Amino acid sequence: MALPLAHRVPYLARMENFKVPSKRHCEYIYLRCYFKEIKDIFDRYIKENDTVFDIGCGNKPMEQYIRTLIKNDRAESYVGCDVVQSSARKVDIVCDATDIPEKSSAYDIVVCTQVVEHVFDHAKVFEEAFRLLKPGGFFIVSGPFVWPVHEAPYDYFRFTRYGFQELLKKTGFIVGEERACGGKFAVLGQILLLTLGSGGNIVKRIIIFVIRFLCNHTVPFLDNTFKSGRLTLNYVFVGEKPSASE
């Protein structure tokens, strides 16, 4: 029997900031689209004095942004779990996302960003989020639609908008907002840049630099001009746990 991930990788390198990188970055398009939508969702749903639980928190890159919204620096106001300790040792509770040792109905907000594709029993993550939330609380969840395999072999699924909707409904959530992070040109541009990679001889590096410059400067304009809902890099969804009166 294979050892669990926690026994094989004691610390995982994770994203450490919540800022769009420069246009020289190979994932500029993806991060620009994703951060724009997730920040807007946070602004709409996270309120002052809310308590927040982060499933798959990693290095907590979103912590400072969230704390500016809840206006609270107490450790218990923002708690995160992950399957292993992160590279910056920011994880509060090391556990599986399907079995979180926290009290039920304890949090106003549960976030789970870019995690569900790495959990084979992903429906259980939605159930745990529902359990952790107070009645009337919100579950903010995101995951990729068009994206290469990453953190292999622990990358199991890609979710359509309909997959997210059904997972939320079957868990008991009221489906709220949904956001597509980028359109068809964002998908085309980002996948081209990831396919090209980086490095190589001087000629290859120059070609990559030119293509990256053109993509990162033109794709946002093309994406806004020729909108499409059929292709996207990523989805963000909001589910509301019904209040006791509903």
Give the residue among 227, 159, 216 at the shortest CA–CA distance from 192.
Answer: 216
CA distance to 29, 42, 71, 73, 154, per residue, from 79 (Å):
29, 16, 15, 11, 24
Position 14 scores a pLDDT of: 67
What pTM was estimated for this model as a whole?
0.91
Position 200 scores a pLDDT of: 85
Q: Is 85 helix (H, G, I), strand (E, B) or coil?
A: strand
Q: Which amino acid is at 155?
A: D
Q: Which helix (H) or strand (E) holds 135?
A: strand 133-144
Q: Is the dihedral of CA 26, 30, 33, 35 positive or negative?
A: negative
Crossing angle of helices 122-132 and 161-171, in 10° steps, is 50
Give the residue among 155, 215, 175 at the shortest CA–CA distance from 191.
Answer: 215
DSSP conformational letter for 22: -
Give the Cα separation of 241 and 246 in Å (integer).
10
- Tell me the Ramachandran region of residue 184: left when phi exceeds 0, alpha when psi lies from -120 to 50, beta otherwise: alpha
Positions of E strands within 145-203: 174-180
Residue 144 forms beta bridges with which residues? 234
Going from N- to C-terminal start, the domains of the chain cover 5-183+229-240
Classified by CATH at the fold level, domain 5-183+229-240 comes out as Rossmann fold (3.40.50)
CB distance 90 to 58 below 8 Å? yes
Residue 238 forms beta bridges with which residues? 140
pLDDT per residue rounded down to tens, the chain (246 residues): 333 444 444 555 567 788 999 998 999 999 999 999 999 999 999 999 999 999 999 999 999 999 999 999 999 999 999 999 988 899 999 999 999 999 999 999 999 999 999 999 999 999 999 999 999 999 999 999 999 999 899 999 999 999 999 999 999 999 999 999 999 999 999 999 999 988 889 999 999 999 999 999 999 999 989 877 789 999 999 999 999 765
Q: Is 174 helix (H, G, I), strand (E, B) or coil?
A: strand
CB distance 37 to 236 below 8 Å? yes
Position 245 scores a pLDDT of: 60
Q: Is the dihedral of CA 219, 222, 225, 230 positive or negative?
A: negative
CB distance 54 to 90 below 8 Å? no
End-to-end C-alpha distance for the chain, whole angstroms: 45
Give the residue among 225, 37, 58 at the shortest CA–CA distance from 145.
Answer: 37
Position 244 scores a pLDDT of: 72
